Amino acid sequence: MTAPPGRERRQFRALVRLFAYRFFDTDIISVRGDLSSLLSQFAALLAALSLVLVLMTAGKYAGLYQHLTEKQLHAAAWADQEFLISTTMAIIGVFTLLLWDALFPDRRDCMILGAMPVRVPAVFAAKLAALGAALGLAVVAVNSFTGLVCPFLIVPGASGALDAARDFGVFWLVILLASGFVFLLLLGVQGVALHLLPHDLYLRWSSLIQTAAFFAVLTLYFLTPPLANPHALAVPEDRLWYALVPSYWFFGLFEVLTGSTNAALDTLARRALAGVLLVALVAAAAYLLAYRRQMRRAVEQSGIAPSRRAFTLWGVLARVLARRGPERAILVFIGRTLARSRQHRLLLAIYAGMGMAYVFSQAAYVLYRSRATDFGALEGRAQTALGIPLILLFFLIVGLRVSFSIPMEVRANWLFRLTDPFARGAYLNATRTTLLLLALAPVVAIAAPIYMAVWPWPRALCHAAFLAALGLLIVELALTGFAKVPFTCSYLPGKANLKIMFGVYWGLLIITSEIVTDVEQRALGHAAGYAWLMGITLLAWLVAALRGRWARARIPALRFEEQPEPAVVGLGLAGPS
Amino acid sequence: MLELRALTKRYSGNLAVDDVSFTALPGEVTGYLGPNGSGKSTTVKMITGLLDPTAGEILYRGRPIRDHLVEFKRILGYVPEEPYLYPHLTGAEYLELAGELRDLPAATLPGKIGALLELFSLAGDRHAPISSYSKGMRQKILICAAILHDPELIVLDEPFSGLDVHAGLVLRSLIRSLAASGKTVLFSSHVLEIVEKVCHRVVILHKGRVVANDSIDRLRDLMALPTLEDIFAQLITDSDPDATARQIAEVVRQ
């Protein structure tokens, strides 16, 4: 029995809409009923980034065109071509990874749609259409300004309307191919994992692959050396970078399509096309196979993969560090939730990724741009190096703190509500221990040996000790007013105006980091100064801890429901009648 | 002894529970019955301290529970109406969480959890995530969590929901033996056959108010009706069920 075409079209439209909702409705943020508003905000954010890129890129050409020869200008433009392509690829990569769980129809889709009179091909076609629309929107938004202005600037020597039209067309073609390459590559990676791994193992590893890919995208974007120039193209040692980094392939394709006859660039262009073809074939094969197997497989098996063993290391740490049962219970609960909940891990990865993006950009500055011969460069490099772990620590703590506020099956919190009086105080100790174990300890443990390798060990140890003291203070400040068991309180989206607050916090973080690292750098050279700095930091930590204890004693009850701000705030001016 | 005195709960002006008073005695199973929306679950949530009453009070051993909520929750075991559990934990991990939150001795807790899982036929699935559990398996985990700490007062809200025949028989017997050991059991359910077999006395709620509160035998005598189902139908039902069923079938056919 075949459904009439009109019904199939309606089903298809409904499914595309459903899947588009699901991209953003991740149980973290519910956007039901307001998809168009969310999409326009998302597009505006990417468009704003595009505007910034135009301002960064376009301004300098006004001066360059007057002073450089065409050959010099061409060489200068290479870096911008590669920059625009690699930036788009990185953004599309992050965007695709954010949609990771929605790339293939999942268990929820299969359970709900499997019982409906919908044909499986229609489900997959709708999924692909929704993905294509989301990808298209992201590509257009991120190039909305650069795509209109830069093609006419970054191809020097073009003359006439035909050349301009060619450059414009080539720019968009290359951007679409590069974006498609990243998207299909990640789709293919997930598809291959989906088919090759047993279902339980796939569920367990999927989010690890997602997180690894997330950090790979960031690492590749920020730490790839800036080699898009004719000199580097001629150096044999640099050719390896050209061969391995996809953004260079698409840069080569752009150059070849806009008229370059360089043989090395021609090789890169061929690699770009071959790469697109290869990932398209792999992704198509994975999707077709998924179409045949996934619906049945997803229904047959569970949606969450447990560890056969208990979360051993965390369990041991909890037993050692938490003396009382309720504290131990909450600590183990936090560990298990972070280890198993994709949403929470993704949220944490986003914050860690932002921190790493900043750290990598600073590391790239230290590695590639700053030259020891520059005036003040040595000082600047040392200060930058001091600030790197501090920034990372800040992002990890904020990421953990934010993920704590996103509930895990909020209706199951009745267990904590029924027992919370016993656990009062335990909740905060457990949360603090988590922040120390998952943010401060790894940052200090990674930073200390690196500093010891590059600096004299007394200086490195002093810095590690100061970082630890500062970390204790930041952890204590992060817990100010915290009256929840992590993951158990309902979440009210939009309670904090993140768009504004994030900018404020970012600005404050950069200023504070500059000041702190400047003070520390001065103190590291003098024993007395360092002792003062450590003393003041530890005193501040002690005060913050005591203040936290005092505030906690006045908390009437743990919070399990996030209340919206009242529409009308009473000023309390009425006196007793 | 659990005592409810003139308990009332309003939700934004709507009266969910209206002046409800009754007593549940140690050594007895008190059935708490009523149609959907009659206020049963709201009452249960107030008894467990999850909701605050608008008026009235709840006493345990003659003392208002609000004055000693900590100690009260320590001796309370609760099976909620909906099996909301943490899906990312395994059955054993959930029980471990419940036990440690109640500060049960770490030395005996794993053994106790293992034994309960074994007795409830969940030992084979102890390492599977709760997300993969059937409704009945989730219900068993809730029951284990409710009795893990050997509570004095046990509040069961639809505890038979989703259980298979064997587990249902075990639970029925368990409820009776818990009461026989001196515990106070409040049992809220729609399944009148089970209530009739398990409960010593019943409280029937309709539109937030108590319409009957007595032993089942006395209710049978007073109302001259043979079964609890007949008593319930007479007290609660406003319309003829057969006529309503016919109307539903007609609507579906349209």
pLDDT surpasses 70 at A115: no
pLDDT at A33: 47
pLDDT surpasses 70 at A371: no
Residue of B74, B80, B127 lying closest to A306 (CB–CB): B127
Confidence of residue A100 (pLDDT cuts 50, 70, 90): confident
Confidence of residue B243 (pLDDT cuts 50, 70, 90): confident
pLDDT surpasses 50 at A370: yes
Using the Cβ of A310 and the Cβ atoms of chain B, whether some distance falls under 8 Å is answered with yes
Chain A residues with beta carbon closer than 8 angstroms to that of B142: none
The answer to whether the CB of A73 falls within 8 A of the CB of A156 is yes
Quote the CA–CA distance of A19 and A334 in Å, as a whole number.
Answer: 30
Residue of A366, A436, A425 whose CA lies nearest to A400: A436
Quote the CA–CA distance of A5 and A11 in Å, as a whole number.
Answer: 10
Quote the CA–CA distance of A148 and A136 in Å, as a whole number.
Answer: 16
Which letter does DSSP use for residue B129 in this model? B
Using the Cβ of A561 and the Cβ atoms of chain B, whether some distance falls under 8 Å is answered with no
Residue appearing with tokens 């196979």: A289
pLDDT at A88: 93
CB contact under 8 Å between A422 and B73, yes or no, is: yes
How much is the mean pLDDT over chain A?
80
User: Which one is predicted more confidently, A161 or B179?
Assistant: B179
Give the nearest chain B residue to A409 (CA atoms): B86
- Residue B187 in 3-state DSSP? strand
Residue of A325, A333, A415 lying closest to B106 (CB–CB): A325
Segment B161-180 shows an average pLDDT of 90
pLDDT at A298: 63
The answer to whether the CB of B65 falls within 8 A of the CB of B15 is no
If phi > 0 it is left, if psi is from -120 to 50 it is alpha, else beta; for residue B13 that is left
Residues of chain A above pLDDT 70, percent = 81
Using the Cβ of A299 and the Cβ atoms of chain B, whether some distance falls under 8 Å is answered with no
Least confident of A130-139, A289-298, A485-494, B155-164: A289-298
Segment A87-110 shows an average pLDDT of 83
Q: Rounded to a whole number, what is the distance in Å from the CA of A301 to chain B's nearest CA?
A: 8
pLDDT tens digits for range A11-43: 888 888 878 777 765 444 444 445 566 667 777
pLDDT at B125: 85
Q: At what angle do helices A263-300 and A160-196 cross, to 10 degrees?
A: 40
Using the Cβ of A407 and the Cβ atoms of chain B, whether some distance falls under 8 Å is answered with no
pLDDT at A32: 46
Q: At what angle do helices A120-142 and A5-24 cross, to 10 degrees?
A: 50
Using the Cβ of A11 and the Cβ atoms of chain B, whether some distance falls under 8 Å is answered with no
pLDDT at B15: 85
Beta-strand relationship, B14-24 and B153-157: unpaired
Q: Which residues of B have a CB under 8 Å from any CB of A?
A: 48-50, 69-70, 73-74, 76, 78, 80, 82, 84-90, 93, 96-104, 106, 127-129, 131-132, 145
> Which of B44, B74, B88 to probe the A interface (max A CBs under 10 A)?
B88
pLDDT surpasses 50 at B185: yes
Residue of A337, A411, A421 lying closest to B69 (CB–CB): A421
pLDDT tens digits for range A447-503: 888 888 878 888 888 888 999 999 999 999 888 888 888 998 887 665 555 555 666
Residue appearing with tokens 């994030």: A502
pLDDT surpasses 60 at A380: no
Q: Rounded to a whole number, what is the distance in Å from the CA of A306 to chain B's nearest CA?
A: 6
Quote the CA–CA distance of A332 and A448 in Å, as a whole number.
Answer: 28
Beta-strand relationship, B29-33 and B201-206: parallel
CB contact under 8 Å between B89 and A324, yes or no, is: no
The answer to whether the CB of B202 falls within 8 A of the CB of B196 is no
Q: Rounded to a whole number, what is the distance in Å from the CA of B45 to chain A's nearest CA?
A: 10
Give the nearest chain A residue to B69 (CA atoms): A421
Which residues contact residue B56 at a Cβ distance below 8 angstroms, ignoring those fewer than 6 apart?
Answer: B4, B5, B6, B7, B8, B19, B20, B21
What is B2-75+151-253's CATH topology?
Answer: Rossmann fold (3.40.50)
pLDDT surpasses 60 at A273: yes
Confidence of residue B173 (pLDDT cuts 50, 70, 90): very high
Segment A500-529 shows an average pLDDT of 79
pLDDT surpasses 70 at A368: no
What is the ipTM for the molecules in this complex?
A: 0.81
pLDDT tens digits for range A179-213: 999 999 999 999 888 888 877 778 778 878 888 89
Residue of A304, A324, A328 lying closest to B129 (CB–CB): A304
User: Which one is predicted more confidently, A271 or B11?
Assistant: A271
The answer to whether the CB of A393 falls within 8 A of the CB of A400 is no
Confidence of residue A575 (pLDDT cuts 50, 70, 90): very low
The answer to whether the CB of A212 falls within 8 A of the CB of A354 is no
What is the C-alpha end-to-end distance of chain B, expressed in Å?
Answer: 54
- Measured from the Cβ of residue B57, the count of other Cβ atoms closer than 10 Å reads 15
The answer to whether the CB of A413 falls within 8 A of the CB of A407 is yes
Quote the CA–CA distance of A270 and A547 in Å, as a whole number.
Answer: 64
Residue type, A462: C
CB contact under 8 Å between A419 and B73, yes or no, is: yes
pLDDT at A565: 53
pLDDT tens digits for range A139-186: 999 998 888 888 887 777 667 788 888 889 999 999 999 999 999 999
> Which of B103, B147, B155 to probe the A interface (max A CBs under 10 A)?
B103
Residue of A491, A404, A497, A415 whose CA lies nearest to A27: A491
If phi > 0 it is left, if psi is from -120 to 50 it is alpha, else beta; for residue A294 that is alpha
Give the nearest chain B residue to A331 (CA atoms): B97
pLDDT tens digits for range A309-325: 545 788 888 888 887 88
pLDDT at A270: 94
pLDDT tens digits for range B120-153: 988 888 888 888 888 999 999 999 999 999 999 9
Confidence of residue A343 (pLDDT cuts 50, 70, 90): confident
What is the C-alpha end-to-end distance of chain A, expressed in Å?
Answer: 77
pLDDT at A552: 76
Q: Rounded to a whole number, what is the distance in Å from the CA of B50 to chain A's nearest CA?
A: 7
CB contact under 8 Å between A412 and B103, yes or no, is: no
Chain B residues with beta carbon closer than 8 angstroms to that of A306: 88, 90, 127-129
Using the Cβ of A320 and the Cβ atoms of chain B, whether some distance falls under 8 Å is answered with no
Chain B residues with beta carbon closer than 8 angstroms to that of A557: none
Residue of A39, A36, A213 whose CA lies nearest to A140: A39
pLDDT surpasses 60 at A526: yes
- Domain ranges within chain B, ordered by starting residue: 2-75+151-253, 87-141
Q: Which residues pair with B158 in a beta bridge?
A: none
State chain A's maximal CA–CA distance in angstroms.
90
Quote the CA–CA distance of A322 and A246 in Å, as a whole number.
Answer: 48
Interface size between A and B, measured as CB pairs under 8 A: 97
CB contact under 8 Å between B104 and A325, yes or no, is: yes
Chain B residues with beta carbon closer than 8 angstroms to that of A408: 86, 88
Using the Cβ of A326 and the Cβ atoms of chain B, whether some distance falls under 8 Å is answered with yes
How much is the mean pLDDT over chain B?
87
Residue of A186, A182, A158 whose CA lies nearest to A171: A158
Confidence of residue A520 (pLDDT cuts 50, 70, 90): confident
Which two three-digit tokens encode residue B244? 């309503």
pLDDT at A301: 59
Helix (H) or strand (E) holding A129: helix A120-142
pLDDT surpasses 50 at A372: no
CB contact under 8 Å between B88 and A304, yes or no, is: yes
CB contact under 8 Å between A411 and B145, yes or no, is: no
User: Which one is predicted more confidently, A517 or A6?
Assistant: A517
- Residue B128 in 3-state DSSP? coil
Most confident region among A112-116, A416-420, B158-162 by mean pLDDT: B158-162
- Residue A251 in 3-state DSSP? helix
Segment B201-222 shows an average pLDDT of 84
CB contact under 8 Å between B76 and A418, yes or no, is: yes
Cα torsion angle, A535, A537, A543, A548, sign: negative
Confidence of residue A553 (pLDDT cuts 50, 70, 90): confident
pLDDT at A297: 66
Beta-strand relationship, B209-215 and B76-79: unpaired
